[in-house]
Structure 1
Amino acid sequence: MFDLRQLRYFVEVAETLSFTQAAQRLHISQPPLSQQIQALEADLGVRLLDRNRRRVALTEPGRIFLAEAKAILARAESARTVVTEAAAGFTGQLGLAYATSVSFHPALPETLLRFSHAAPGVSLHLMEMPTGAQYDAILSGQIDVGLLRSPPEGVANARQLTMEVIDEEPLILALPTGHRLAKQEKVAMADLANERFVAPPRTAAATLIDRLNLLAAKAKFRPNIRQEAQQIPSLLPLVAAGLGVALVPASLQAVHLDKVAFARIDDPEAFWLLAVAWRVDNTSPVLESFLRTVREARAKLGLG
């Protein structure tokens, strides 16, 4: 059976109609080139070239075979490219989940933009998912990687997971513009002991509720949560309506609402982790390519 080398040799001769020029292009001597063409013709059982001392010409079978040979070589090169890009993580699929609260963090759009440019051949499947559900989905193979808000503490089979911190995003206070603390740049948690809070239910944002409870406990009070909203961005209209104050990630300041002011929390533990997590045994080149992009985005944004 003929091989790709013989096809390349034949195409060169057929296009130049010269064994001498073809040999020069292929960087080989003329005798082995002639031998390979003869072997190809013998394998096919047809004469592809009419040649004498003065000229080389394609036979009719040779003309037809030239088109087929070019198609085979192009297909082989395409296969090489596909395999090479797959090995480099530039083609394939990636399942990515992110917590709703990450939607406004600059790391998400920066990473997605960079990854789409670096690996346009990757089919990216995006979904919003709470942190706890993300860990379960990573372990089950439903997703490859997650952008989430806490370490896998208490997660079954946590040893099968790897987590890398992207940012410790400040948690800030959202409060009505007419609030007594609205004009302060920094607020002590103790000043909030008698305030009404709006917050997501624990089922939707357990890590945020845990952080709120931690900060309040340090200030020796328990937060009075009077109203809930399923999505963290939905807390801001409740704050604007005067229903309470809210602990929110600093990136939510990108949402501009009248009657909502923001203030920093005077506590070094007023932050919310942003991390990327994946299975230890996931050796997908696409995943490796994505993680490289995450690190590049983190460096570009000056995080971590």
Structure 2
Amino acid sequence: MFDFRQLRYFIAVAEELSFTRAALRLHLSQPPLSQQIQALERDLGVRLLERTKRHVELTEPGRVFLEQARQILARADEARSQVVAAAAGYSGQLRLAYTASVSFHPALPQTLLRFGQIAPNVRLKLSEMYTEPQFASLLADEIDVGFVRNEPIHSQDARNLRLSVIDREPLLLALPAGHPLASRSSLHLADVAGDAFVSQPRELAATLYDRLVTLATNAGFQPAIVQHAQQINGLLALVAAGLGLALVPASMRTVRLAGVSYVPLDDPDAYMLLAIACRTDHHSPALQQFLATVTETAVAPGL
């Protein structure tokens, strides 16, 4: 069977229509070049070139084979490029999950934008998913990487997962604009101990729900949660309607909803973790390139 070297030799002769010029182009002496072309013709069982002492001409099979040889080498070069790109993490597929609240944090859009510039041939499959289901999906090899809001609860999961903290995002209190404390520059959660709260159901958003309960307990009261919303941005509509107060990450300030004011909390531990999670045994080049992009983006000014 012919090899790539013979194809390159044949293309050079076919384009130069001269063994002498082709040999110079290939930095090769003429006899080995002639031998390789003859071997190629024997392998194919056809004459590709008509030769005289003064003239070289392509036969009809030679013209057909020239086009095929060019295509074969082009495909081989493309395959080589794709393999090199895949090994460097610039192509392939990456399954990425993120919690709903991360949609409002600059880490997600900025990382996706930068990664798209660095590795445009990596196919991203995005899924919105709460933190605990992300851990389960990572361990089941259903996703490759996730933006999560908490550390794994179970020690076995913690051993099999790798977390890199991106941010400890401050928590704010969303209050109805007409609330007496809505104009404060900051407050303690104890200041609103008698108010009603709205929250996502714990089975959906355990991290934020538990943080509200913990902060309230530390402030000396149990929060009266009177309404639930499935999505975090849905909480703001309930706040605007005067149904209660909501604990939200600071990045939710980007949601400008009439009737809602945001006030920072001075309570210790009034923050929400943002981390990137993957399996400890997952080392695909595309994943490593994405993790490097996350790190690069996280230290960029303005994040």
Normalised TM-score (structure 2)? 0.95
The aligned counterpart of 1:283 is 283
Q: Which amino acid aligns with 1:35?
A: Q
The residue that corresponds to 2:200 in the other structure is 200
Amino acid at match of 1:239: V
Cα offsets for 1:64-118 (capped at 9, x unmatched): 2111111211121121122122212222222111111111111111111122222
1:37 equivalent in alignment to 2:37: yes
Cα contact 1:182–1:262 (8 A) shared by 2: yes
Alpha-carbon spacing, 1:157–1:263, altered in 2? closer, same or farther (3 Å): closer
Contact kept? 2:151, 2:158, Cα under 8 Å: no
Q: Which moved more, 1:48-57 or 1:180-189?
A: 48-57
Could you tell me which residue of structure 1 aligns to residue 227 of structure 2? Answer: 227
- Paired with 2:233 and 2:155, the residues of 1 have a C-alpha distance of 27
1: CA distance, partners of 2:143 / 2:253: 30
Secondary structure at 2:299's aligned position in 1? helix
Q: 1:45 and 1:190 mapped to 2: Cα distance?
A: 91
Aligned residues: 303
Question: What residue is the counterpart of 2:92 in the other structure?
Answer: 92
8 Å contact kept, 1:135–1:155: no
SS in 1 for 2:125: strand
Give the drift of 1:136: 0.3
Superposition pairs for residues 94-243 of structure 1, below 5 Å?
A: 94-154=94-154, 156-243=156-243
Q: 1:44 deviation in Å?
A: 2.1
Deviates most, 144-153 or 51-60: 51-60
Mapped to 2, the partners of 1:237 and 1:47 lie a distance apart of: 80
CA offset digits 1:208-240 (Å, max 9, x no partner): 112112221221111111111111111111111
What does the per-residue CA deviation read over 1:106-134, in whole Å, with 9 as the maximum and x for residues that have no partner? 11111111222222222211111110010
C-alpha deviation, 1:302, in angstroms: 5.1
CA distance in 1, matches of 2:105, 2:20: 64
8 Å CA contact retained: 2:172, 2:264: yes
Give the secondary structure class of the aligned counterpart of 1:181.
coil
1:19 Cα deviation from its structure 2 partner? 2.1
Supply the RMSD in Å over aligned alpha carbons.
1.5
Give the corresponding residue for 1:295: 295
- Secondary structure in 1 aligned to 2:234? helix
> How many angstroms apart in 2 are the aligned matches of 1:100 and 1:82?
34
8 A Cα contact 2:135 2:157, kept in partner = no
Contact (CA 8 Å) 1:199, 1:229: kept in 2 or not?
yes
Q: CA deviation at 1:30?
A: 2.8
Unaligned runs of 5+ in 2: none
How far apart are 1:145 and its partner, in Å? 0.9
Give structure 1 regions of 4+ aligned residues with deviation exceeding 4 angstroms.
Answer: none
Is the alpha carbon distance of 1:231 and 1:155 closer, same or farther for their aligned partners in structure 2, counting shifts above 3 Å?
Answer: farther
Is the deviation greater in 149-158 or in 134-143?
149-158
Cα offset, 1:244, TM superposition: 1.1
| Farther off after superposition, 4-13 or 266-275 | 266-275
Does structure 2 retain, via aligned residues, the 8 Å contact 1:107–1:301? no
| 1:262-284 residue CA offsets vs partner (Å, 9 max, x unmatched) | 11101241111111111111121
- Structure 1: unaligned runs, 5 residues or longer: none
